[in-house]
């Protein structure tokens, strides 16, 4: 039996991927740019074993059996890696051997925090380790076919997914713009919003957008190319001001397109809008852009903030969004934040908009991170090819 175990991180888009020109190959209508987060706070972990004795391909996700062979996206990833292994020539066991896969997310899938990106990136990266394949552009085209945004989670730091133009998708690849060390003090506060309602998933939402929104093509053709260029320059120069402005405008444009979709897709809720307002007021009080929000296909807010500004921003959030468990470890997750004294100006700015209690479920403090990593054999989620639990 041969096995590999890896972790892969979540990534958060700065310039958003929204809309496909080919559903099956997952080819986007525009480029996107993201930041990969530290796998310590949020990651998918996957073990894959291959054995001559396995009768069929099997998968367990968070301990539950997942129908594997019926899942077109999973099969595309497996077949894609097989194709690369075949082309590569050297593999230590026959490609006909079946695989058993166990995968876990270390954060609640229900929170809607890019679990598919980390999950598919981890699946493809672990398969590549199992078949001794290098991490390269071709591998990103396979992760892309699991979930579009997954191709960006194969690299750490800042990543650019180029839409490409080939009809077979061979040039729709992810490339690293800068590693995490380029801007190591780039941190993030994720505000998980209390919200139980079920929403239209990204796949459906963007499908409907491409079909019905008249703004979406204008955005893809006329607006995104310049934004990508400007954002790349801002990242290169570590210019937080420009970075923050583009990020917030991008998020707002994504949600404007969602409203232009018919029937509209509403992802942000009242709490999300209260957070966006709070960030603008906070930046005004500070006299500079110190926090930048971005929202994906859900109500949770991801706030980009430099490490040195995290304690003050968090203190202001705690004032503006009071919570009964504000100091508990269940409420404040991730990298610890030293307490700060809240000055009057800040208190006035934050308390100008004190919201009702307990609007946030919890807060995660994380930062820019490296890409997927292989772990040692002791970290395996499978024993003799079967999950440790269930
Ligand atoms: C709003 O990658 O989840 O997070 O390719 O259909 O699996 P599929 O969609 P997915 O879409 C992510 C959309 C987004 C923006 C982004 O990550 O760029």
Segment 139-156, tens digit of pLDDT = 999 999 999 999 999 999
Ligand 1 pocket (Cβ < 6 Å) reads: 13, 16-17, 26, 32, 116-117, 147-149, 202-203, 296-297
Mind giving me the DSSP string for 215-269? Answer: SHHHIIIIIHHHHHHHHHHHHHHT-HHHHHHHHHHHHHHHHHHHHHSSSPP----
Domain with CATH 3.30.230.10 in the chain: 2-178+372-387
The tens digit of pLDDT for each residue in 18-42 reads: 999 999 999 999 999 999 999 999 9
The average confidence (pLDDT) of the chain is 94
Sign, CA dihedral 163-164-170-173, equals: negative
| CA 252 to centroid of ligand 1, rounded, Å | 16
| CA 316 to centroid of ligand 1, rounded, Å | 31
pLDDT at 110 over 70: no
Average the pLDDT over each of 41-50, 58-67, 170-179, 352-361 and give the range with the smallest value.
Answer: 352-361
Share of the chain above pLDDT 90, in %: 87
What is the rounded CA–CA span in Å between residue 281 and residue 88? 55
The ligand 1 atom at the shortest distance from the C-alpha of residue 34 is 18
- Token pair in block for residue 8: 């892969």
Q: pTM for this structure?
A: 0.96
Domain 2-178+372-387 top-level CATH class: alpha beta
CB 261 within 8 A of CB 297: no
Of the candidate CATH numbers 3.40.190.10, 3.40.50.300, 3.30.70.890, 1.10.3720.10, the domain formed by 186-367 belongs to 3.30.70.890
The ligand 1 atom at the shortest distance from the C-alpha of residue 26 is 5
């Amino acid at each position: 039996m041969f096995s590999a175990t890896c972790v892969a991180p979540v990534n958060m888009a700065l310039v958003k991927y929204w809309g496909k020109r080919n559903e099956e190959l997952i080819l986007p209508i525009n480029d996107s740019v993201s930041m990969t987060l530290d796998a310590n706070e949020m990651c998918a972990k996957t073990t894959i074993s291959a054995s001559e004795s396995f009768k069929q391909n099997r998968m367990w996700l968070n301990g539950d059996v997942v129908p594997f062979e019926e899942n077109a996206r999973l099969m595309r990833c497996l077949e894609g890696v097989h194709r690369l292994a075949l082309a590569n020539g050297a593999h230590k066991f026959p490609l006909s051997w079946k695989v058993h896969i166990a995968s876990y997310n270390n954060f609640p899938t229900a929170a809607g925090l890019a679990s598919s990106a980390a999950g598919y990136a981890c699946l493809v990266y672990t398969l590549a380790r199992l078949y001794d394949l290098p991490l390269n552009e071709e591998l990103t085209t396979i992760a892309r076919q699991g979930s579009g945004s997954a191709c960006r989670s194969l690299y750490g730091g800042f990543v650019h997914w180029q839409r490409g133009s080939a009809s077979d998708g061979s040039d729709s690849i992810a490339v690293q713009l800068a590693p995490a060390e380029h801007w190591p003090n780039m941190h993030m506060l994720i505000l998980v919003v209390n919200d139980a309602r079920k929403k239209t998933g990204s796949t459906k939402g963007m499908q409907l957008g491409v079909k019905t929104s008249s703004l979406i093509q204008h955005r893809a053709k006329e607006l995104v190319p310049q934004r990508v260029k400007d954002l790349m320059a801002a990242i290169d120069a570590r210019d937080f001001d420009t970075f923050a402005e583009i990020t917030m405008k991008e998020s707002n444009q994504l949600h404007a397109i969602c409203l232009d979709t018919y029937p509209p897709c509403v992802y942000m809720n009242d709490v999300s809008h209260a957070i966006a307002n709070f960030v603008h007021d906070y930046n005004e009080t500070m006299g500079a852009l110190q926090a930048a929000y971005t929202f994906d296909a859900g109500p949770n807010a991801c706030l980009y903030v430099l490490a040195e500004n995290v304690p003050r921003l968090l203190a202001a959030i705690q004032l503006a969004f009071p919570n009964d468990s504000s100091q508990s470890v269940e409420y404040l997750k991730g990298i610890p934040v030293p307490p700060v004294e809240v000055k009057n100006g800040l208190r006035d700015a934050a308390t100008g908009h004190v919201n009702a209690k307990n609007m946030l479920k919890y807060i995660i403090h994380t930062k820019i991170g490296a890409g997927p990593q292989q772990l040692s054999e002791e970290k395996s989620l499978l024993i003799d090819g079967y999950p440790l639990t269930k």
